[in-house]
Amino acid sequence: MSVTQEIKNRLDIVDVISETVQLRKSGRTYSGFCPFHANTRTPAFHVFPDTQTWHCFGACSEGGDLFNFVMKQEGLDFKEALVKLADRAGVTLDQPGAGSQKKKAAYQKQADLLAAAADYFHQLFLHAPQAKNARRYVDGRVLNQETIAAYKIGFALNSWDACRTHFNGQGYSDQELVEVGLLTENPDKGTRYDRFRNRLLIPIRDLDGRVVGFGARALEPDGIPKYLNSPQTNLFDKSSLLYGLDMAKRHIREARQVVIVEGYMDVMQAWQAGFRNVVAQMGTALTERQLTQLKRYTKRFVLALDADAAGMKATMRGLQVARETLDRTDEVKFDARGLVRHEGRLQADIRIVTLPDGNDPDKIIREDAAAWPKLLAQAKPVAAYVIGVMTADLDPQDAKGKTAVAQQVIPLIKDIEDPVERDHYWQELARVLGVDERALRQVKLPQKRASVRRRPSAQSSASPGQFRPPMPPPPPDFPPNGDEMGVRPTGRRPRGRIRSNLRQANYLRQCLAFPRALAQVNHKLKQHGQTAVSEADFDQTEDKILLRQIQEKTTDGSVVTIEELCDSLDDILLSRVQSLLTLPPTPESERDRLADSLVLSVLNWRKEKIVKQVTEQNKLLKEARTSGDLEAVAFYQQQLREMSRNLLEIDRARDAMSAVSRRRAEET
Ligand SMILES: [Zn+2]
């Protein structure tokens, strides 16, 4: 993944922009006053969370992604914006040249060491006499040989230096062992010793199946802590990993659902019983990065959390905190509202299933595998779950208690995107509280939180373990995994965007290969009453910059080769060019039709964009009408007229283009 993509994955454009622009939510998008032009009363500036882009429908009619927003807002160049946002996202920028090669090699060496360590611990588990207890423990969990091998279960000897000695013998230094978390260092005493001793070792692999760390379970009943993980290292970042995802991802796609559990054993047990769409979080509350990753495979999440699990506790704690401090704070950390918002913004379906008291998935499946799917089928939507929990021990005579429950649940209901679903929960809450729905709708909330987006503090964006409002899935590196664009499992919604993205990418790719196409395309566009391709046509800042570079190189008369172009680009743009070059160039036989097909492609993506904008403006127009804001109504009507004019012109140009190509086809 490119660095810019990584940054975009970690940051949410809505969070970043809302720090300087006051945004109001309307449906799936946000609007506000444009910071780049003098404003009337009408909010013409829009942020689209699902594409992570922004656009101004007003005087400047500019738009783009996170990067060019920050560039414009703070007057930075691309590089400066990159450094700033990388820092904020906690992404390390590679130093160009030899440095990054060295770093890559070091990274590889660490990965090799961890893979070797997984083998070492696995062999000990299988064969060492000292591992008898470990084997007995696993036997007790009725895990079979196949499962043990698939997850490479291991064992660490009860020794302060067995692992160290073993890997020192293989040429690894203490320092290297410390860096991957196999050795623990006590800087005060200057001592180093094996981190994992007399524990069951479970290798934790990343999405690509590389071992990045270990989870280690104590084998003695009073072993403390019960679970010991690898420390945070270059490779091991708990907040972005999900245990078992490397093996489960294919099955998540097939099952169109992911089940999120608490423990390693739960994942293994489920796998062994044939339930393979199961992953585990690792002792932290579910993070945004984890959910974003999962979103690539499915939109249906089922959280199957132990009754006493940290995650569920955190959810309810969030509500408790809200109850206690409702007047004092507008911050609710990882809580049910976070999940509901997440649901809305990800267009996901998040459900929660409560496991019977004292049971975990491991135990349930071991005792009766058939019970598992039945249990999952009972998973409840977040709002229903919370209403259930909040009202479970509410005294029907306790009027104040009812108000307190209502005050906590109502914001949650208001956050639900779908109007029918929202209405359903108003009724549901009225029913369980035994009050009139109209009364509920008049309950005064201590704060008007429904329309106020919380601002992430510097701390919340920096600490990875914390739940923040989610962001949409990243656009895939194209072509997505080398696949056709249609195979993206996460569904219908982003397809238009992917198509647009691919069209934009393909346009640049062909211009790289055939720079003369650039002028030809612009000429044809002008013939059909359209403007030349400009930076405004592109969504990604890298692409905007690339287009400018290609244009500059071609208009000053020099014939641009890819090599020449690359010489003038810095590393980030270079990696964009490299990924563009993975798209196929136009074959010789179709070369004379290249300009025509690029023109059509440009027209298509322009049309897609405007269609989407029309939807947004229509929504706002409706709102403005409802609120009787005549000035806004006039503005949006004017915008819509202009857009439909543009659409008409695009359609005319498309028709003319297809007529041309038809004629040509007939002539030949
Ligand atoms: Zn503007």
* pLDDT tens profile 101-132: 666 777 888 989 999 999 999 999 999 999 99
- pLDDT, average across residues 509-515: 82
Q: Compute the distance from residue 13 Cα to the ligand 1 centre, in Å.
A: 17
> What's the pLDDT score for residue 479?
29
What is the spatial distance between Cα 429 and Cα 437, in angstroms, rounded to a whole number? 8
Quote the ligand 1 centre to 636 CA distance (angstroms). 14
CA–centroid distance, residue 43 to ligand 1 (Å)? 9
Enter the CATH code of domain 3-89. 3.90.580.10
Q: Kindly give the distance from the C-alpha atom of residue 39 to the centroid of ligand 1, in angstroms, as a whole number.
A: 8
Give the phi and the psi of residue 589 in degrees, each rounded to 5: -65, -25
If you measure from the C-alpha of residue 63 to the centroid of ligand 1, how many angstroms do you get, rounded to a whole number? 9
- Secondary structure in 3-state letters for 570-587: CHHHHHHHHHHCCCCCCC
Tallying the residues shown for the chain, one arrives at: 668
CATH fold label, 110-236: DNA primase DNAg catalytic core, N-terminal domain (3.90.980)
What spacing in Å lies between the alpha carbon of 332 and ligand 1's midpoint?
33
Ligand 1 center to residue 199 CA distance, Å?
Answer: 60
Distance 38 CA to ligand 1 centre (A): 8
How far apart are the CA of 33 and the centre of ligand 1, in A? 8
Q: Can you give the residue ranges of every domain in the chain?
A: 3-89, 110-236, 245-458, 480-667
Dist. CA 81 → ligand 1 center (Å): 20
CA quadruple 352, 355, 357, 359: dihedral sign: negative
Rounded distance from Cα 56 to ligand 1 centre (Å): 5
Q: What pLDDT, on a 0 to 100 scale, did the predictor assign at position 506?
A: 87
Q: d(Cα 486, Cα 494) in Å, to the nearest integer?
A: 10
* Tens of pLDDT, residues 381-398: 878 887 887 777 778 888
Confidence (pLDDT) at 326? 28
Choice among 17-31, 162-176, 326-340, 609-623 with the minimum mean pLDDT: 326-340
Higher pLDDT, 414 or 432: 432
Distance 36 CA to ligand 1 centre (A): 5
**What letter does residue 470 receive in the DSSP assignment?**
-
Give yes or no for residue 632 having a pLDDT over 90: no
pTM of the model: 0.53
CATH topology identical between 3-89 and 110-236 = no
pLDDT of residue 455: 34
Of 91 and 425, more confident:
425
**Strand pairing report for 53-56 and 63-64:** antiparallel
CA 110 to ligand 1 centroid distance, Å: 48
Q: Which has the minimum average pLDDT: 58-62, 70-74, 166-170, 259-263?
A: 58-62
Distance (angstroms) between ligand 1 centre and the Cα of 41 equals 13
Q: What is the mean pLDDT of residues 42-54?
A: 85
Q: CA–CA separation, 623 vs 26, rounded Å?
A: 9
Q: Which CATH architecture has domain 245-458?
A: 3-Layer(aba) Sandwich (3.40)
Query: What's the whole-number average pLDDT of the chain?
Result: 79
Give the per-residue pLDDT at 447: 53
pLDDT value at position 448?
41
Find tokens 């647009």 and name the residue: 500
